[in-house]
Amino acid sequence: MYNVMLVDDEEEVRLAIEKKINWQELGFNVVATAENGQDALERALDTQPDVVMTDVNMPFMNGLEFSKQLKAQLPATKVVIFSGYDEFDYAKEAIELSAEEYILKPIDADELYQVFARIKVRLDDEVDKRRNMETLEKYYQESFPFFREQFLIGLIEGHIEPDRINEIAADYGQGIEGNFYAVGIIKLSFENQNEINNDTRRLLCVSLNQLAKERLAGHANYYCLNYLGNVIVLGCFERAEEYDEFVTDLDRICKLSAKLLQTNTTAGVGGMVTELKDLFSSFKSAGEAAAYRILLDENQAIPIGDVEPKGAHINLFETDNVNQILKQIKIGSPEELKGSIHEFFSNLHQKGVALYQLKLSILEAYFEIIKLARTYDINSEDEKGDKDILELLEKVESLDMVEKWFEDRCFKVKDMVNKTRLDSTGLMIEKAKGFIAEHFTESDISVESLCTYLNVSPNYFSSVFKKNTGLSFVSYLTDIRLKKAVELLENTDEKAYMIAGMIGYEEPNYFSYVFKKAYGISPSKYRQQRGN
């Protein structure tokens, strides 16, 4: 079923149209009606009709202006315009507005049936096209390189939930298979940083990525992508021995870059891992290896194992567990947060590593929590808090004791994150109310101008504002204006048409309409009843 909205300033006309044909037999439901363009626009945004049938001549906002604004906000909605005037200008403007049909009053039942039968065919065709598998398949194939690149970036950044990696890899990771994996990061270096503009940097990065793709094209198990001004190369190996070949290949790219692009590069090569979920660890160590270019010669590949002690990059830091803890601090329930913390400590205990390594892993996790707090501008712990964990780890007698301390700190941060989020939303609502209070007398005030002031999107603001106040922006603005109107009616001798302009209504008739709709009587009768 498709949804229809009927708009006409005469109730009998709306009812007559609604009864003229069997809407459901045609495949339509009449879900809303309105008596003027302004009301219709607000209801259309709420009900999202597939088709709007509107009269031209209506008070406050005519059908053509309503159709124009409707198309700007709901471009997919079909518009049928009807009028009692057989005027060329009306029909011409209707065509310019991409109206589906232009009908003259009085509306004949057969004509109305035929109009909506034609619209039904068009709507069905559009649905079929959206569902057309060939179209979707073509789009998928065209978009596949982009989706794969986003998948690889998600892997190296550690942003994909471990239990979803295989599911996503089935769609976008064809060929990304192996028993071992490693990440290489090729970084450009510039002797005179200030003399290199951004355009030159981007051009060199694109050129370096193209060079890497061309020279590594013979390796079907290598994948190259641009990443924040660097080139990332993912290597997938059947045998561990292929890692050395990977290092050699990246070394060649660095030397070719110096020769062909006349720029210095360094390839940091991360440690080898056996699962896709651990690529973040390899990526992180690749960046650390590349940082050693300040101590070594450039234009070469530097494996992490050559510059840091063996075993230094054993995956003690439980990245997945810590990411889960951070997630639960932000959006999880207390039970989920407690479970993630317990899983983190259980995994550490099961590894059976040396005590100093265990302490280091806990410290790293603790500082990740502090970093999260700082992103919310929260001073989660003072210097005493930092000393507490150092002293606790120095004198620790049981892992359970540390887990309890760590859990307390996480819950404190969670409480502060929740409070900060609520404070931030509350502040935005108060700023919005202040803006409305200051500008409600202006006829052109809109949710767009308010959101520009707040620097948020209209959709987000509308959702948050209605959730917090129980009113839409338009309803809240109308309420403020009418309260001011009541105040002026009760305490001044100003005429109603003057009051309309003072509270932001350009048309006195529309002010009277809105006032009567809210209070049941006109502004003049309201004043009479109050004795003014």
Q: Is the pLDDT of residue 398 over 90?
A: no
Kindly state the average pLDDT of the residues 411-427: 82
Give backbone dihedrals phi and psi of 22, rounded to 5 degrees, phi first: -85, 95
Higher pLDDT, 406 or 198: 406
pLDDT score for 311: 44
In this prediction the pTM is 0.45
pLDDT score for 353: 54
Residue with tokens 């619209």: 119
Kindly state the average pLDDT of the residues 122-142: 81
Q: How far apart are CA 313 and CA 310, in angstroms?
A: 7
Using the 3D structure, point to which of 388, 420, 452 is the last residue of a domain: 420
Higher pLDDT, 426 or 338: 338
Q: What is the band of 386 on the pLDDT scale with cuts at 50, 70, 90?
A: low
In a domain, 138, yes or no: no
What is the per-residue pLDDT across 319-334, written as a single tens digit (0 to 9) for each? 678 888 988 888 788 9
pLDDT score for 64: 87
In a domain, 123, yes or no: yes
Strand partners, 79: 52
Using the 3D structure, point to which of 70, 100, 131 is the last residue of a domain: 131
Q: How far apart are CA 59 and CA 510, in angstroms?
A: 8
Q: Is the pLDDT of residue 70 over 70?
A: yes
Parallel/antiparallel/unpaired status of strands 230-237 and 180-189: antiparallel
CA torsion 140→142→147→152, rounded to 10°?
A: 130
Closest CA to 76 of 136, 127, 142, 17: 127
Look up the domain containing 299 and give its range: 143-307
pLDDT score for 182: 96
Question: Contact, 270 vs 281, CB < 8 A?
Answer: yes
Compute the C-alpha angle 9/10/13, nearest 5°. Answer: 125
Q: Is 373 exposed, middle or buried (0-12, 13-18, 19+ CB in 10 A)?
A: buried
Q: Is the pLDDT of residue 385 over 60?
A: no
In a domain, 434, yes or no: no
Q: What is the band of 313 on the pLDDT scale with cuts at 50, 70, 90?
A: very low
Q: What is the band of 482 on the pLDDT scale with cuts at 50, 70, 90?
A: very high
Say if residue 189 is in the same domain as residue 149: yes
- Best-predicted range by mean pLDDT among 191-205, 269-283, 415-429? 269-283
Q: How far apart are CA 505 and CA 488, in angstroms?
A: 14
CATH code of 85's domain: 3.40.50.2300
- Best-predicted range by mean pLDDT among 29-43, 143-157, 299-313? 29-43
Say if residue 388 is in the same domain as residue 450: no
pLDDT score for 318: 58
Q: Is the pLDDT of residue 314 over 50?
A: no
Q: What is the band of 89 on the pLDDT scale with cuts at 50, 70, 90?
A: low
Say if residue 123 is in the same domain as residue 251: no
Q: What is the band of 312 on the pLDDT scale with cuts at 50, 70, 90?
A: very low
Kindly state the average pLDDT of the residues 59-81: 90
Residues 6+ away with beta carbon under 8 Å from 2: 27, 28, 29, 50, 51, 120, 123
pLDDT score for 165: 86
Q: How far apart are CA 143 and CA 223, in angstroms?
A: 17
pLDDT score for 127: 86
What is the per-residue pLDDT across 2-49, written as a single tens digit (0 to 9) for each? 999 999 999 999 999 999 999 999 999 999 999 999 999 999 999 999
In a domain, 428, yes or no: no
Average pLDDT of the residues of the chain: 85
Full 3-state SS string of 354-419? CHHHHHHHHHHHHHHHHHHHHHCCCCCCCHHHHHHHHHHHHHCCCHHHHHHHHHHHHHHHHHHHHH
Say if residue 380 is in the same domain as residue 459: no
Q: State both tokens at 86.
A: 């057989």
pLDDT score for 395: 62
Kindly state the average pLDDT of the residues 195-212: 84
In a domain, 435, yes or no: no
In a domain, 298, yes or no: yes
pLDDT score for 524: 92
Q: Is the pLDDT of residue 295 over 80?
A: no
How many domains does one find in the chain?
A: 4
Higher pLDDT, 294 or 187: 187
Hey, CA dihedral for 307, 312, 315, 316, is it positive or negative? Answer: negative
pLDDT score for 211: 92
Higher pLDDT, 419 or 88: 419
Q: Is the pLDDT of residue 384 over 50?
A: no
Higher pLDDT, 447 or 532: 447
Q: How far apart are CA 440 and CA 50, in angstroms?
A: 33
Extract the runs of DSSP E, i.e. beta strands, from 75-206: 78-83, 101-104, 180-189
Higher pLDDT, 181 or 64: 181
pLDDT score for 379: 64
Q: Is the pLDDT of residue 95 over 70?
A: no
pLDDT score for 286: 93
In a domain, 312, yes or no: no
3-state secondary structure of 29: strand
CATH code of 524's domain: 1.10.10.60
Which DSSP state fits 241? T
426-457 in b/e form (b: 16+ CB < 10 A) is: eebbeebeebbeebbeeeebebeebbeebebe
pLDDT score for 21: 92
Question: Contact, 120 vs 28, CB < 8 A?
Answer: yes
Say if residue 152 is in the same domain as residue 287: yes
Q: What strands, in cross-sheet order, belong to the sheet with 101-104?
A: 28-34, 2-7, 51-55, 78-83, 101-104
Say if residue 284 is in the same domain as residue 150: yes
Q: Is the pLDDT of residue 368 over 90?
A: no
Using the 3D structure, point to which of 131, 164, 187 is the last residue of a domain: 131
Say if residue 278 is in the same domain as residue 326: no
Say if residue 165 is in the same domain as residue 195: yes
In a domain, 427, yes or no: no
CA distances to 64, 94, 102, 178, 434 from 112, in Å: 20, 17, 11, 64, 48
DSSP 183-232: EEEEEEE-SSGGGS-HHHHHHHHHHHHHHHHHHTTT-TTEEEEEETTEEE
